[in-house]
């Protein structure tokens, strides 16, 4: 294989895909390949795709259309489609576009360098979407990270639930849990290299059960990660409400390094819809968990995912979701129009909600949330918050970062602060972000003394 070739991975979808792309990049660099700075510069292009909604698949087809034109000019161009979208669409991506050289799913990332080598040598397209038999997630030693202060760490992959709308169990396969000692060794290594924020990742993180003799539960793992010297912030995504036990709340209260933010997908506020979604909890059970979170001594921010227009969702069901939003006052939400996915149980359900009605419900829900967030954020004005500076801001401000409870804060300051924790006094609140001013160390001492 021509090792001089530059590769570029375009990532679609979630944080798991993002981390997978970093892992694949590390594996390819270990093979002697070079990352290209952009798609234009690359001879090997990999699209790491998502399958969660139909729109995600359509985006890939449209990118493949563009790449087809590019390949007509540069016949040596290699195009691979990997990730959940590839697992779902399989050969269709190749057959319908005539541009794809490699198709493989998210369970196969450690095989990608070998597959690439084979296709480049034999010049025959390769499709491998068999489930990976290995009982544990792939271990990747050298992950090519794009941040020097924040790192995603896999704790489990796949999902044993069967939510009737969800494609993930079909694409990522059954749950595989990583040994606790391996997770902790990776976190220690990251901390020694200067990383201060860790994001523990998995499709159903709190179902985590350490397969090694230590047998850590999810809450025990959280505590252990939060105790690694040098680690200042620990987040995790996504937990399932059914496995959301009180020991997780206790851990957050006892370890200040565990961020006081929980993302707990609700999906719907109607027990009838939740039952058809096969979510295994009712409106009341979710509410109990939310109340327990809200009653915690340390204030814990709560965000969620909501799907509107699931088959059979009546106006009354939807009203129950809205009522739940009033009751819980989520700190933020991700909301989606239901999209039928092949092979899932709900794809067969009758009584579908039409697109215009889904769009209307989404709008109503988002407008409601905006008002709730505005009211909630207004309470921050005047407070001094700790912010991990993440990037230059996309606004008129110079910098952007997040509080431990996951609020975006924009403020002015020098670029060298990126990657560090600073204090910011909030001066203005918007629905989706806060604005503030950097507090000088001397002002902080004054505040502490007063
Ligand atoms: N527990 C998983 C959920 C991933 S999907 C994880 O964190 O990996 C993220 C969100 O997408 C879900 O919580 C759900 O709200 C939404 N979603 C999943 N399938 C969907 C579908 N078929 N249509 C619309 N939204 C969907
Ligand atoms: Fe999907 Fe439900 Fe698992 S949303 S990832 S099947 S918990």
Predicted pLDDT of residue 442: 57
How many CB atoms are closer than 10 A to CB 181? 14
Predicted pLDDT of residue 441: 61
Helix (H) or strand (E) run with residue 21 in it: helix 15-30
Q: What is the pLDDT of residues 124-151, one digit of tens each?
A: 999 999 998 898 999 999 999 999 999 9
Predicted pLDDT of residue 34: 96
Spell out the residues 6+ positions from residue 417 whose beta carbon is closer than 8 angstroms to its own.
Answer: 389, 399, 438
CB distance 169 to ligand 2 below 6 Å: yes
Mean pLDDT of the 45-56 span = 98
Ligand 1, atom 2: nearest CA belongs to which residue?
A: 203
CB distance 159 to ligand 2 below 6 Å: yes
Atom of ligand 1 nearest to the CA of 265: 13
Predicted pLDDT of residue 78: 96
Spell out the residues 6+ positions from residue 253 whose beta carbon is closer than 8 angstroms to its own.
Answer: 296, 297, 298
Mean pLDDT of the 441-445 span = 59
Output the CA torsion sign for 216, 218, 220, 225: positive
Which of 129-133, 175-179, 429-433 is the least confident region? 129-133
Mean pLDDT of the 274-291 span = 98
Ligand nearest to the CA of 280: 2
CB distance 336 to ligand 1 below 6 Å: yes
pLDDT band at 5, cuts 50/70/90? confident
Predicted confidence (pLDDT) at residue 277 exceeds the cutoff of 80:
yes
| CA 239–ligand 2 middle distance (angstroms) | 10
Predicted confidence (pLDDT) at residue 339 exceeds the cutoff of 80:
yes
Ligand nearest to the CA of 307: 1
CB distance 265 to ligand 1 below 6 Å: yes
| CA 403–ligand 1 middle distance (angstroms) | 25
| CA 217–ligand 2 middle distance (angstroms) | 20
Atom of ligand 2 nearest to the CA of 167: 1
Predicted pLDDT of residue 450: 46
Predicted confidence (pLDDT) at residue 264 exceeds the cutoff of 50:
yes
Predicted pLDDT of residue 340: 97
In the chain, pLDDT over 90 holds for what percent of residues? 93
d(CA 275, CA 283): 10
Atom of ligand 2 nearest to the CA of 267: 4
Ligand 2, atom 2: nearest CA belongs to which residue?
A: 163
Predicted pLDDT of residue 141: 95
pLDDT band at 445, cuts 50/70/90? low
d(CA 292, CA 295): 5
CB distance 304 to ligand 1 below 6 Å: no
pLDDT band at 449, cuts 50/70/90? low
Helix (H) or strand (E) run with residue 429 in it: strand 421-429
CB distance 240 to ligand 2 below 6 Å: yes
Which of 268-272, 381-385, 444-448 is the least confident region? 444-448
Predicted confidence (pLDDT) at residue 395 exceeds the cutoff of 90:
no
Q: What is the DSSP letter of 435?
A: E
Is residue 385 classed as helix, strand or coil in its secondary structure?
strand
CB distance 238 to ligand 1 below 6 Å: yes
Predicted pLDDT of residue 440: 77
Ligand 1, atom 6: nearest CA belongs to which residue?
A: 203
Q: What is the DSSP letter of 35?
A: E
| CA 36–ligand 1 middle distance (angstroms) | 32
Atom of ligand 2 nearest to the CA of 204: 7
CB distance 203 to ligand 2 below 6 Å: yes
Mean pLDDT of the 198-220 span = 97
CB distance 203 to ligand 1 below 6 Å: yes
Q: What is the pLDDT of residues 67-125, one digit of tens each?
A: 999 999 999 999 999 999 999 999 999 999 999 999 999 999 999 999 999 999 999 99
Pocket test for ligand 1, best of 19, 152, 166, 274 (most atoms within 8 A of CB): 166
Peptide bond before residue 238 is cis, with ω within 30 degrees of 0: yes
- Calculate the average pLDDT of the chain: 95
d(CA 33, CA 26): 9
Ligand nearest to the CA of 266: 1
Predicted confidence (pLDDT) at residue 177 exceeds the cutoff of 80:
yes
Pocket test for ligand 1, best of 154, 265, 332, 342 (most atoms within 8 A of CB): 265
Q: Which of 42, 201, 182, 17 is nearest to 105 (CA)?
A: 17
Ligand 2, atom 1: nearest CA belongs to which residue?
A: 166
Predicted pLDDT of residue 443: 62
φ, ψ dihedrals at 285, nearest 5°: -65, -45
Predicted confidence (pLDDT) at residue 447 exceeds the cutoff of 90:
no
CB distance 321 to ligand 2 below 6 Å: no
pLDDT band at 444, cuts 50/70/90? low
Mean pLDDT of the 370-397 span = 92
Predicted pLDDT of residue 102: 98
User: What domains, with CATH codes, occur in the chain?
Assistant: 6-128 (3.40.50.12160), 145-259 (3.30.750.210), 384-449 (2.40.50.140)
Mean pLDDT of the 226-252 span = 97
Predicted pLDDT of residue 42: 96
What is the value of pTM for the model shown? 0.96
Atom of ligand 2 nearest to the CA of 162: 6
Ligand 2, atom 7: nearest CA belongs to which residue?
A: 161
Ligand 1, atom 19: nearest CA belongs to which residue?
A: 166
CB distance 278 to ligand 2 below 6 Å: no
Got the DSSP string for 108-148?
GGGGHHHHHHHHHHH---EEE-PPP--SSPPP-S----S-S
């Amino acid at each position: 294989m021509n090792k001089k070739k530059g590769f570029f991975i375009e990532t679609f979808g979630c944080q798991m895909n993002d981390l997978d792309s970093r892992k694949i990049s590390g594996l390819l660099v270990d093979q002697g390949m070079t990352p290209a700075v952009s798609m234009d510069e690359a001879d090997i292009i990999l699209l790491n795709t998502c399958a969660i909604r139909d729109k995600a698949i359509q985006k890939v087809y449209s990118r493949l259309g563009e790449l087809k034109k590019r390949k007509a000019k540069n016949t040596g161009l290699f195009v691979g489609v990997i990730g959940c979208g590839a697992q779902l669409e399989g050969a269709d991506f190749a057959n319908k576009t005539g541009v794809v050289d490699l198709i493989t799913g998210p369970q196969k990332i450690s095989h990608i360098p070998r597959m690439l080598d084979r296709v480049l040598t034999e010049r025959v397209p390769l499709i491998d979407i068999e489930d990976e038999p290995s009982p544990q997630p792939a271990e990747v030693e050298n992950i090519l990270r794009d941040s020097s202060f924040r790192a995603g760490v896999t704790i489990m992959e796949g999902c044993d639930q069967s939510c009737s709308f969800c494609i993930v169990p079909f694409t990522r396969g059954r749950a595989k849990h990583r040994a606790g000692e391996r997770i902790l060794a990776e976190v220690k290594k990251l901390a020694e290299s200067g990383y201060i924020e860790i994001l523990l990742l998995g499709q159903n993180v709190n179902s985590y059960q350490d397969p090694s003799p230590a047998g850590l539960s999810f809450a025990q793992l959280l505590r252990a990660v939060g105790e690694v010297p040098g680690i200042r912030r620990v987040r995790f995504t996504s937990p399932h409400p059914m496995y959301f036990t009180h020991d997780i709340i206790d851990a957050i209260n006892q370890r200040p390094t565990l961020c006081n933010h929980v993302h707990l997908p609700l999906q719907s506020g109607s027990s009838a819809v939740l039952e058809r979604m096969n979510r295994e909890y009712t409106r009341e059970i979710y509410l109990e968990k939310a109340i327990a979170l809200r009653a915690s001594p340390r204030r814990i921010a709560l965000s969620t995912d909501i799907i509107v227009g699931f088959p059979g969702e009546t106006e009354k069901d939807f009203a129950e979701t809205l009522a739940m939003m009033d009751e819980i006052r989520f700190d933020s939400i991700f909301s989606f129009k239901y999209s039928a996915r092949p092979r899932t149980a709900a794809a067969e359900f009758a009584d579908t909600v039409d697109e215009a009605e889904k769009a209307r419900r989404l709008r109503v829900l988002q407008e409601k949330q905006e008002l709730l967030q505005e009211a909630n954020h207004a309470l921050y004005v005047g407070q001094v918050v700790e912010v991990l500076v993440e990037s230059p801001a996309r606004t008129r401000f110079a910098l952007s970062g997040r509080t431990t409870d996951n609020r975006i804060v924009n403020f002015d300051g020098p670029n060298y602060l990126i990657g560090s924790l600073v204090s910011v006094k909030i001066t203005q609140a918007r629905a989706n972000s806060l604005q503030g001013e950097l507090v000088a160390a001397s002002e902080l001492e004054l505040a502490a003394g007063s």
